[in-house]
Structure 1
């Protein structure tokens, strides 16, 4: 691995991280403290997947974000980032979205907690644009979108956000990915995959139907139920 990296001109800290990942690659469910490399690893798996099932608690998934929403979300989540770093992250996210419209598009099934469509990331105008984008993407035949409403109370996905990636080759097992602020977790053990598939099935069963979900999002885009207030303004 190190020899190959040298041939490709990859040296220093990035080379060390990749070599360490290669050492750990046989371990199932290995933890990554390598946030930069991890993002690339996930994007590669995402591009190779034939279907993606995702549950999101806080934000719109990258495959469905508008440029304005992505920028606002990254700036808020990573105040340590420079403007150039934010721009690069946004470009990557927008580039990934071609997976939904390419000749052989990925099948995407997303369940969004209601908090995702209620929180006005970037302000009212940015959020309206994002909600309209969700309605547009949901019209694609390979995209299914559902909302998990607050009224269901406690549910099977309370432990957190996750994504299940499935691949076209029969010999390639599914992969579960759970992301956090410092890295992420890839899970491949059969019992782990079964658990997350079980959780996702329960979440989508509890969510409102796709057509009703899209109608709800469209209504919010026209008459949002939040009131956007500038930072520091009093709550009423």
Structure 2
């Protein structure tokens, strides 16, 4: 089994380890910045994983903290790995945020979706139609690049070290004909096929549930295999989304997800509903209803 590694997660882990050692040593960020002859904001961004530190920077910082030997070399090696480029790097101009980098190293994904099928389960045609509608300001070339990235991400479902995915779909996702009837039918069949995979669980949250714990919005919880890599919640929005990492934030979203999946249809009933919609979509019957006299 291969180990999936992501420079995004490596950068995040390195920052957390450097911050922990600085605090243990009782050294302030301003002191480190002064010793390294750089800005305090640079040190802060390294510690939060927003900036990649060079191996030399890491050695110098660890020297200030009194860390040496094998411990120092291990962190320097993480710094080297954090500077490598992920497969998605050539498409960085069309990516808004670090989500793909986190997903690439995740052990599991738990997601609640209100409007669209998650990227890991989209067909190419559905993805193209969705992106065009959501981003009318971008070029055809950018749309194709985004679709390409989305389809490449799906290899996480089938590779040796596959990711576990548990998705709760609001019924609205099944009822919105993205791309038209033919595209939506194919997408629903894709969901049914995905649900047959041992590492994919799908549930539908039906309209009749009414108000529920997830009404504040779509979110994804990413869990990582390394104990030193804390879980992260990604709350998506039009500008790229927000990453939440504090313990109380994680606890809240885990609580919400548990309540949503408890309220949703069981997986077997959910797949049966999706299969039915694929054969006789709700929007088609509605369209006939509106046109009748």
- Specify the TM-score bucket, using the shorter chain as the normaliser: 0.7 to 0.9
Q: In 2 relative to 1, CA 41–152 (structure 1 residues): closer, same or farther, beyond 3 Å?
A: same
Give the aligned partner of residue 83 of structure 1.
140
Tell me if structure 1 keeps the 8 A contact 2:95–2:146: no
Q: How does 1:50-199 map to 2 (within 5 A)?
A: 50-199=107-256
**Greater strand proportion:** 1
Offset from partner CA, 1:105-131 (integer Å, 9 cap, x none)? 100000000000110000000000000
Q: In 2 relative to 1, CA 25–111 (structure 1 residues): closer, same or farther, beyond 3 Å?
A: farther
Cα RMSD for the two superposed structures: 2.3
Unaligned runs of 5+ in 1: 1-19, 29-34
TM-score, structure 2 length as denominator?
A: 0.67
Whose radius of gyration is greater, 1 or 2? 2
Give the Cα separation in 2 of the matches to 1:194 and 1:37: 32
Tell me if structure 2 keeps the 8 A contact 1:124–1:228: no
Give the Cα separation in 1 of the matches to 2:260 and 2:199: 19
Offset from partner CA, 1:107-158 (integer Å, 9 cap, x none)? 0000000000110000000000000000001100000000000000000000
**Greater helix proportion:** 2
Query: Is 1:205 aligned with 2:262?
Result: yes
Determine helix, strand or coil for the equivalent of 1:112: strand
Q: Which runs of 4+ in 1 moved over 6 A?
A: none
Deviation at 1:21, TM superposition (A): 9.0
TM-score, structure 1 length as denominator?
A: 0.83
Which has the higher relative contact order, 1 or 2, with Cα contacts under 8 A spaced 6 or more apart?
Answer: 1
Give the Cα separation in 2 of the matches to 1:22 and 1:42: 23
Q: In 2 relative to 1, CA 97–228 (structure 1 residues): closer, same or farther, beyond 3 Å?
A: farther
Determine helix, strand or coil for the equivalent of 1:165: strand
Unaligned runs of 5+ in 2: 1-40, 50-91
Determine helix, strand or coil for the equivalent of 1:227: helix
Count of aligned pairs? 208
Tell me if structure 2 keeps the 8 A contact 1:52–1:107: yes
Deviation at 1:182, TM superposition (A): 1.3
Q: In 2 relative to 1, CA 189–70 (structure 1 residues): closer, same or farther, beyond 3 Å?
A: same
